[in-house]
Chain A
Amino acid sequence: EVQAAALAEHGEDITPARDRGVLKIIKRPGSEDESPMIGDKVYVHYKGKLANGKKFDSSRDRNEPFVFSLGKGQVIKAWDIGVATMKKGEICYLLCKPEYAYGSAGSAPKIPSNATLFFEASEDLFEDGGIIRRIKRKGEGYSNPNEGATVEIRLEGFCGSTRFDCRDVKFVVGEGEDHDIPIGIDKALEKMQRGEHCILYLGPRYGFGEGGKPKYGIQPNAELVYEVTLKSFEKAKESWEMDTKEKLEQAAIVKEKGTMYFKEGKYLQAVIQYGKIVSWLEMEYGLSEKESKASDSFLLAAFLNLAMCYLKLREYTKAVECCDKALGLDQDNEKGLYRRGEARLLMNEFELAKCDFQKVLEVNPQNKAAKSQISVCQKKTKEHNERDRRIYANMFTKFAERDAK
């Protein structure tokens, strides 16, 4: 093929290792100067051919551009390298050796082993994609801080054009709140690498949320931008690295933390803490009787508290799941039944909610709240039935009218 031959002869070697693994020729230069950054969402139209000229793929056949996050290993290496060099609006040719494509394994059924691939690609646009992270300087190594890791960072926080925070700080991932650091930073850190310098755009949910931060003069539901450098970190132990004794000790500590966050209304942080108890103890086996009792008691408290948090976060399905698990440990648990009833009521499952509240009364006949909730259920059921009746009545009338014509 003419194009492939031209690439082999005149193409520019864009590999970092300079091994001619990916060669590029620009067919039409881009309209703007900017290239996408690692983490950006990129939209590309392309056509792919094998060495024998046979087309194996084309985004035009699907009538939509291919979308992916750049530099994350979602695509073959040649693409992560190649697309990063493309400017918005550019069209180019890429010739990719198998080491930068599918190697000796190939990709059944279309790509044979050791295949050199040829692409014609055009970059339509790229955009920022929740917590949005744009990497200014890539970090080193491949490991990231996990939840519970201790990190040392430098951060600068901006709201609009005002800088409201600038410091070096050391803290535990998931507990940034203790240092007036929004949860978005905690979440982002889990994806960062040592030495990385990046910009984080935080939507209000991952910033200071509804409460704002009067201390820094931040209004409720403000969007924030942080520049963060992850200087160093020390990972926390994975669950399977800890023995039962350690887990039970940590569970007590973590439960306190969770309760503290909950009282302050920091539900996302509280969920992280209680979640640790679950991930450590839920599948733990080989416990002595004493350990088993302690473990069950922690798990019960964790599930009940998680249910409360999820109710506050309006994630009702998760709340129900947690109540189910709590009731699995203690089937007549008043709080578990009540909270499940609340969640179901908010999901419009009135009959089920009513059952739960009725059970609460069986366990504790003095529970006034449950009584009033039952009448709420009944009222809502009635409202819904009325509404259905009106809809169906209309339906049949309409049909009758139509058929009569």
Chain B
Amino acid sequence: MPEEPSQTIMAVDELQAIIQRCQILEEADFKGEDFNLFQVAGQKCLEDGYAAQLLEVIQNEKNKVIVKNMGWNLISPLVRCIFTYKQQDDKREHCLKILDQLAQLCNPKELLLGLLEQIEQTSGEQVCQTVLLLLQPLQTVLLKLQHKKAYSVGLSLAVIMNQLTPLPVPYTKEQIQEDKLGLCQCCHAVVHFAKPFVNEVVKNMEKSSEYNDVELKEELLKFCMKSLEYPLLTAQLEQLEGIEEHPFRRFATEIIDILWDIRELVPLVFLHRKGKSPDWENREFVDIERKNSADSLACLSYLVFVQHFGIDHFPVIFGPSYLLQCNMTHIEVLLKRTEESVLSKGLDLFESCLLRMEDDSLLHQYLEFRDFINVPQDLVKVMTLCPMEHLRKKSLSILQLFIDKFDAEGKYTLFRCLLKTSNHAGVEGYIIKNIKDQIHLSLTKVCDSIWFTGHHLISLLDLVLLLPEGAETDLLQNSDRIMASLNLLRYLVIKDCESDNRTGVWAALAKIEQNFLKPLHVGLNMSKAHYEAEIKNTKENRREAHSSNTVCSVTVSGEKMPAMTTEMQLQVLHSALFTFDLIESVLARVEELIEVKIKAGMDDNS
């Protein structure tokens, strides 16, 4: 590269000039003007490619004081240059050495601000590059701060995490392997950066605890909590085939190790066991903390109980019901989210807690905890609204697991609650089937449950054997539920003899007829008539000329759906009729069975 002689003289000489001037000055006499000239000259040297010369100047013993005071201004141009030069370039090496020297020589407070400013100014693709470059000098500077470092360490970690947070977290195997923005690499480097501070806290905890060390521990705790929220909460943390060392699994382990080292791991997981706060001011703080850290704590529970990171540090004494109780708040937090990564963690955590329990072992009194009622309702929302099929299926299987773990009264209460709150015919149908299964167990077991026979059952059946809007109920919409109810009634009529009447269904027959069977007949007749009329109309319209005055149109993803052809319309109408026929046939069968049984009863009595 042709170097213009005039420029060579200018850049380096200018630098030499300001240096010489400052060498004779006292430190206290450095003026703002001097700082400026130094920065401009230094910057020019770098930009013109004279890093080597600049390095010499900085390494010169005589210039120590100048560099100490003014060096931090060079960070910005230095970093820019490092990124413009290629890996093998000598100039890059020189720049890196300059950076190292500055870390050693400059006033730590000022250099710290310079480095953090530099990190704060980057965005997007530059962030991880910059952080990776500056972590080492940052560490050097912080270690120089000795006993006052806590606040600065916290600030540094906060700035770094703030810059990383907007970056997307690699999720698929390909994305993780590619690590396009360097996030995985960066996370690992940040933990490594924090290591000496963790060691310091550990060492000081073994001696007495000075005030300052509590501060440093608090800052590290804040960093861990932040990491749990980002990137760990949204990262994919299962083992992946073909990836030997999963960067986020490793990061999770490292964060948990830090928490264990600073003795915060077990207290955090069992936060509510920390004991009542003694004074009022503390309570405020604890409440704020708890709210902001809900996501982090939920993620931590997931890591410990599902992935078993750090589980060796925990007592293996807790009863499984208690573990479920402790985790319910976290499960609730996770299930309320919609991102697949977070929602699936909630489901996994819930499942793992339930699998630790024996069936029928969960006492119904747990349902008096708010989250024990809220969580199944959240589960229902996932089952019915989540766009991802595998999550819908999974949440259904977990709901069944949850039901299975409760004792009889618990199941009973849960069924009542879900029938009242789920507002979804499919879910209601599923619950009704569960009720049938419980009745079956009651009737066939030696010990019979008072909850699924007799007056408790009748009270439950009041919720089941009815049409929500009487004869005007939309039978298609509610067909799942209605079919399940009819099947239940059919089962009861077959299994329970009138003389036995263990389930109480025979005594309630009149009521059932009035609230359920009669309106169902009426509803069916009305619906069939309506749909048959629709079919007739549609067929007639087809014979007439095709008119394109559609009353309304449907647009999906920006594309207008083609109008349904008459064939399609007829198909839909016919399938509705088929559903009604199905319902009607079961209804007829049930009524038949009832008649038979009543007649048999009467014959017996006569």
Given the contacts A48-B316, A146-B368, A105 and B356 also touching, CB distance less than 8 Å: yes
Q: How far is the CA of A146 from the CA of B365 in the complex (A)?
A: 11
Q: How far is the CA of A76 from the CA of B315 in the complex (A)?
A: 12
Q: Mark B294-320, 1 if CB is under 8 A from A, else 0.
A: 000000000000001001010111111
Q: How far is the CA of A110 from the CA of B355 in the complex (A)?
A: 14
Given the contacts A62-B313, A105-B358, A142-B365, A403 and B68 also touching, CB distance less than 8 Å: yes
In the complex, whether B420 has a CB less than 8 A from a CB of chain A is yes
Q: How far is the CA of A211 from the CA of B390 in the complex (A)?
A: 59
Which B residues touch A314, using CB under 8 A? Answer: 280, 284
In the complex, the 7 A-B pairs of residues with the closest C-beta atoms, listed nearest first: A57-B316, A130-B276, A142-B365, A74-B322, A103-B358, A75-B317, A105-B356
User: Which residue on A lies nearest to B364, using beta carbons?
Assistant: A142
Which B residues touch A144, using CB under 8 A? Answer: 365, 368
In the complex, whether A66 has a CB less than 8 A from a CB of chain B is yes
Q: How far is the CA of A241 from the CA of B420 in the complex (A)?
A: 8
Which B residues touch A315, using CB under 8 A? Answer: 283-284, 287
10 sampled A-B residue pairs with Cβ under 8 A: A59-B315, A73-B319, A74-B322, A75-B318, A79-B317, A107-B356, A109-B311, A130-B276, A144-B368, A314-B280
Given the contacts A57-B316, A108-B308, A240 and B356 also touching, CB distance less than 8 Å: no
Which among A73, A241, A318 is the interface contact of B321 at CB below 8 angstroms? A73
Q: How far is the CA of A240 from the CA of B358 in the complex (A)?
A: 28
Q: How far is the CA of A381 from the CA of B259 in the complex (A)?
A: 36
User: Which residue on A lies nearest to B280, using beta carbons?
Assistant: A314
Which among B266, B357, B373 is the interface contact of A240 at CB below 8 angstroms? B373
Which A residues touch B321, using CB under 8 A? Answer: 73
CB <8 Å contact, A66 and B317 = yes
Chain B interface extent, by class: 35 or more
CB distance from A400 to the nearest CB of B (A): 8
CB <8 Å contact, A399 and B107 = yes
Which B residues touch A56, using CB under 8 A? Answer: 316
Which A residues touch B589, using CB under 8 A? Answer: none
In the complex, whether A317 has a CB less than 8 A from a CB of chain B is yes
- 9 further contact pairs, Cβ within 8 A, besides A317-B291, A403-B68: A103-B361, A107-B316, A108-B352, A108-B355, A110-B311, A111-B316, A317-B287, A347-B284, A399-B108
Binding site for A on B (CB under 8 A): 27, 68, 107-109, 148, 266, 273, 275-276, 280, 283-284, 287-288, 291, 308, 311, 313, 315-322, 352, 355-358, 361, 363-365, 368, 373, 417, 420-421
Which B residues touch A399, using CB under 8 A? Answer: 107-109
Interface residues of A in 45-61 (CB under 8 A from B): 46, 48, 56-57, 59
Q: How far is the CA of A193 from the CA of B427 in the complex (A)?
A: 34
Which A residues touch B275, using CB under 8 A? Answer: 129
Which A residues touch B364, using CB under 8 A? Answer: 142-143
Given the contacts A142-B365, A318-B287, A104 and B109 also touching, CB distance less than 8 Å: no
Given the contacts A240-B420, A399-B109, A109 and B308 also touching, CB distance less than 8 Å: yes
User: Which residue on A lies nearest to B291, using beta carbons?
Assistant: A317
User: Which residue on A lies nearest to B413, using beta carbons?
Assistant: A238
CB distance from A268 to the nearest CB of B (A): 13
CB distance from B466 to the nearest CB of A (A): 15
Q: How far is the CA of A395 from the CA of B276 in the complex (A)?
A: 37
In the complex, whether A233 has a CB less than 8 A from a CB of chain B is no
Given the contacts A79-B317, A317-B284, A399-B107, A105 and B363 also touching, CB distance less than 8 Å: no
Binding site for B on A (CB under 8 A): 46, 48, 56-57, 59, 62, 66-68, 72-77, 79-80, 102-111, 129-130, 142-144, 146, 238, 240-241, 314-318, 347, 395-396, 399, 403-404
Which B residues touch A108, using CB under 8 A? Answer: 308, 352, 355-356
User: Which residue on A lies nearest to B146, using beta carbons?
Assistant: A402
CB <8 Å contact, A316 and B109 = no
Q: How far is the CA of A119 from the CA of B318 in the complex (A)?
A: 14
CB <8 Å contact, B355 and A105 = yes
Q: How far is the CA of A213 from the CA of B284 in the complex (A)?
A: 28
Q: How far is the CA of A396 from the CA of B288 in the complex (A)?
A: 32
Which B residues touch A403, using CB under 8 A? Answer: 68, 107
CB <8 Å contact, A66 and B322 = no
CB distance from B366 to the nearest CB of A (A): 9
Q: How far is the CA of A108 from the CA of B309 in the complex (A)?
A: 12
CB <8 Å contact, B287 and A104 = no
CB <8 Å contact, B417 and A240 = yes
Which A residues touch B358, using CB under 8 A? Answer: 103-105
CB <8 Å contact, A102 and B288 = no
CB <8 Å contact, A76 and B317 = yes
Which B residues touch A74, using CB under 8 A? Answer: 318-319, 322
CB <8 Å contact, A57 and B317 = yes
CB distance from B485 to the nearest CB of A (A): 21
Q: How far is the CA of A142 from the CA of B406 in the complex (A)?
A: 13
User: Which residue on B lies nearest to A399, using beta carbons?
Assistant: B109
CB <8 Å contact, A105 and B320 = yes
CB distance from A93 to the nearest CB of B (A): 16
Q: How far is the CA of A109 from the CA of B361 in the complex (A)?
A: 21
Which B residues touch A317, using CB under 8 A? Answer: 284, 287-288, 291
CB distance from A150 to the nearest CB of B (A): 17
Which A residues touch B357, using CB under 8 A? Answer: 105
CB distance from A55 to the nearest CB of B (A): 10
Which A residues touch B266, using CB under 8 A? Answer: 62
Which among A68, A79, A102, A110 is the interface contact of B320 at CB below 8 angstroms? A102
Given the contacts A314-B280, A317-B288, A75 and B322 also touching, CB distance less than 8 Å: yes
CB <8 Å contact, B284 and A316 = yes
Q: How far is the CA of A104 from the CA of B313 in the complex (A)?
A: 23
CB distance from A270 to the nearest CB of B (A): 18
Q: How far is the CA of A57 from the CA of B459 in the complex (A)?
A: 48
Q: How far is the CA of A77 from the CA of B317 in the complex (A)?
A: 10
Which B residues touch A347, using CB under 8 A? Answer: 284
Q: How far is the CA of A129 from the CA of B272 in the complex (A)?
A: 14
Q: How far is the CA of A238 from the CA of B369 in the complex (A)?
A: 11
Which among A62, A72, A396 is the interface contact of B109 at CB below 8 angstroms? A396
Given the contacts A56-B316, A73-B322, A104-B358, A143 and B287 also touching, CB distance less than 8 Å: no
